């Protein structure tokens, strides 16, 4: 059994944080430290095919929820709290429905329990066009990506995954080959009849289109106690665009 890689911060009640697609635990280090200062033992997890966790050709939300359960058993974690963003939010939803006895409070950041058509193709195409055999610096990779991805923030997000596999040879932490072939799975929904009846907060970005008013009924069907709150003037990366409000609203909910 392969265990997920994590960074553990602080002491107290367990709080597991799950990153989004092409992300990693490091994306949450600053917010994780803030939660740790408020009495949580924060587990920043790299999901399979991401960060420093294992690579696998098998990739779906049932497996990813099972990975988290194995992690909890391996670390002997008592009942705790779960926060997931985007793809990590789907994993968190699936986990809460499959293992509800472990979850006190659940926070889902800017994703709904519904199917999303593949919409990362331009980014994946740009990544797959890179020839890392001849690109020997982060600057050169960034320059090459800029031909297809004009948004500096997205490029910097992707470049955080870049590392030296060995002297003179760059690689990405994420499993680009598998993820490129699993776009349908990444957009997939949790099971149609699955439900978590515990305290749940959905936080959406005010400028994001990932959660629409039409999704409220579906959210309530799967998560009958769900509350929905908005962080205005933020997009899909609401936790990075307004970390102060994201932290305050999350902490208030976790402590209720």
Report the catalytic residues.
Answer: 86, 236
The residue written with tokens 């002491």 in the block is: 11
Tokens 């004009």 locate to 150
Which residues are CB-contacts of 208 (< 8 A; sequence separation ≥ 6)?
Answer: 110, 234, 235, 236, 238
Contact 8, 33 (CB under 8 A): no
d(CA 160, CA 7): 16
Residue identified by tokens 């933020």 is 234
Q: Is 190 exposed, middle or buried (0-12, 13-18, 19+ CB in 10 A)?
A: buried
Q: How far apart are CA 44 and CA 26, in angstroms?
A: 8
Tokens of 194: 């699955």
Positive or negative, the CA dihedral 160, 70, 43, 59 is positive
* Angle, alpha carbons 235-238-244 (nearest 5°): 140
CA–CA gap between residue 41 and residue 54 (Å, rounded): 23
Tokens of 168: 């003179």
User: Of 65, 46, 75, 42, nearest to 251 (Cα)?
Assistant: 42
């Amino acid at each position: 059994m392969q265990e997920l890689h994590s960074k553990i911060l602080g002491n107290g009640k367990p709080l597991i944080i799950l990153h989004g697609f092409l992300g990693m635990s490091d994306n949450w280090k600053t917010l994780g430290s803030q939660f740790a200062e408020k009495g949580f033992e924060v587990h920043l997890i790299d999901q399979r095919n991401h960060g420093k966790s294992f690579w696998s050709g098998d990739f779906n939300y049932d497996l990813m929820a099972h990975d988290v359960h194995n992690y909890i058993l391996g670390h002997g974690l008592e009942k705790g709290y779960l926060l997931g963003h985007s793809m990590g939010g789907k994993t968190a939803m699936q986990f809460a429905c499959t293992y509800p006895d472990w979850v006190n409070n659940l926070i889902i950041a800017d994703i709904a329990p519904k199917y999303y058509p593949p919409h990362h193709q331009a980014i994946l195409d740009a990544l797959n066009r890179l020839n890392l055999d001849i690109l020997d610096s982060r600057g050169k990779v960034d320059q090459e990506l800029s031909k297809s991805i004009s948004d500096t923030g997205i490029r910097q997000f992707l470049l955080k995954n870049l590392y030296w596999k060995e002297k003179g040879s760059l690689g990405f932490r994420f499993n680009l080959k598998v993820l490129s072939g699993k776009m349908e799975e990444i957009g997939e929904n949790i099971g149609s009849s699955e439900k978590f009846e515990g305290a749940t907060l959905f936080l959406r970005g005010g400028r994001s289109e990932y959660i629409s008013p039409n999704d409220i009924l579906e959210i309530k069907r799967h998560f009958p106690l769900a509350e929905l709150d908005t962080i205005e003037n933020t997009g899909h990366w609401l936790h990075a665009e307004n970390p102060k409000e994201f932290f305050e609203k999350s902490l208030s909910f976790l402590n209720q």
